[in-house]
């Protein structure tokens, strides 16, 4: 393998160590950061994600609570809970685990989280701020990607960055963050006629689609930094990304694995956002992303 592995687990450890210090400083001021998670319905993957998030909270000293609702609950019940959590001074971050049962409108529910506690960064206030070149609380996965690029000391300014996938929660905010850092950014989608035309000029290639093997080594510019955001459950039960790791790692200069790459960073950034929100609740000005 020619490429250097960008190890999400190792970088996340480093992030947790820094968070631990920030949390200690908050403890001195009588504050323990608190994260509230809402789980609606029975979804085994969502339950596992939330368990991992709670475990990470416990490791760094963030208080976490989970509130469960049955699959047939009403939007009104969720709004009431969110209203109470918005007003609860022990809670600095709130998340609603997606996906939601079909009768619940996730866009409406996500808007009911007050932007200052929206640690998933999905509220339109937080997403919209990025369009204006500001970051209040950013979505965790794109924020994790940017953190990985910085750890890799991968230059961003002046580079060609190609983001494949234009979802509101991953591809689009990542493109905005890369634009804010001075990259020249192309964003591809399912209608893009010649993906290779874009991937072959990418100094930074970030893939967030959900199709295993969409990108192989022949499509990658030699020396590119390849960030594989996709998570796909394969027939044998194993996880795979959107990038064919075996061929891509022969061409790229740096590459993230799946599992053990961006996914680890997503959880770390959720905690970072929670600590940032807790600091801001005390009026502490936090440079963003906080170092």
Residues in contact with ligand NAP by CB under 6 A are 141, 164-167, 169-171, 188-192, 195, 208-211, 214, 229-232, 262-263, 266
Q: Of the candidates 209, 214, 210, 204, which has an alpha carbon nearest to the alpha carbon of residue 252? A: 204
| CB of 81 vs ligand NAP, minimal distance in Å | 24
| CB of 8 vs ligand NAP, minimal distance in Å | 8
Q: Which residue, 32 or 190, is less far from ligand NAP as judged by CB?
A: 190
In the chain, the N- to C-terminal Cα span, in Å, equals 31
- Rounded Cα–Cα distance for residues 76 and 82 (Å): 10
| CB of 71 vs ligand NAP, minimal distance in Å | 21
Q: Which residue, 31 or 214, is less far from ligand NAP as judged by CB?
A: 214
CB atoms within 10 A of CB 139: 28
Helix, strand, coil percentages for the chain (3-state, nearest 5): 40, 15, 40
**Which residues are tagged catalytic?**
53, 97, 120
- Rounded Cα–Cα distance for residues 258 and 240 (Å): 6
- Rounded Cα–Cα distance for residues 142 and 135 (Å): 12
| CB of 214 vs ligand NAP, minimal distance in Å | 6
Q: Which residue, 106 or 250, is less far from ligand NAP as judged by CB?
A: 106
Q: Which residue, 26 or 215, is less far from ligand NAP as judged by CB?
A: 215
């Amino acid at each position: 393998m020619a490429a250097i592995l960008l190890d999400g687990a190792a970088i996340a450890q480093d992030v947790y160590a820094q968070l631990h210090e920030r949390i200690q400083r908050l403890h001195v001021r009588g504050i323990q950061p608190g994260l509230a998670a809402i789980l609606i319905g029975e979804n085994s993957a969502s339950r596992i994600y939330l368990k991992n998030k709670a475990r990470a909270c416990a490791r760094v000293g963030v208080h976490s609570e989970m509130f469960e609702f049955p699959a047939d609950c009403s939007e009104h019940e969720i709004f009431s809970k969110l209203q109470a959590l918005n007003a609860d001074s022990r809670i600095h971050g709130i998340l609603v685990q997606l996906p939601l049962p079909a009768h619940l409108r996730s866009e409406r529910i996500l808007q009911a989280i007050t932007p200052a506690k929206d640690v998933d960064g999905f509220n339109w206030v937080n997403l919209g701020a990025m369009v204006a070149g500001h970051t209040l609380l950013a979505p965790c996965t794109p924020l994790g990607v940017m953190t990985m690029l910085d750890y890799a000391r991968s230059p961003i300014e002046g580079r060609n960055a190609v983001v494949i996938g234009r979802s509101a929660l991953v591809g689009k905010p990542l493109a905005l963050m890369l634009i804010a850092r001075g990259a020249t950014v192309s964003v591809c989608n399912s209608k893009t006629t010649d993906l290779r035309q874009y991937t072959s000029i990418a100094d930074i290639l970030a893939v967030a689609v959900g199709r295993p093997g969409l990108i192989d080594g022949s499509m990658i510019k030699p020396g590119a930094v390849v960030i594989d955001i996709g998570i796909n459950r394969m027939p044998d039960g194993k996880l795979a990304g959107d990038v064919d790791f075996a061929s891509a790692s022969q061409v790229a200069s740096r590459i993230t694995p799946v599992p053990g790459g961006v996914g680890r960073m997503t959880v770390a950034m959720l905690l970072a956002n929670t600590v940032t929100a807790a600091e801001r609740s005390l009026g502490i000005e936090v440079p963003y992303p906080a170092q």
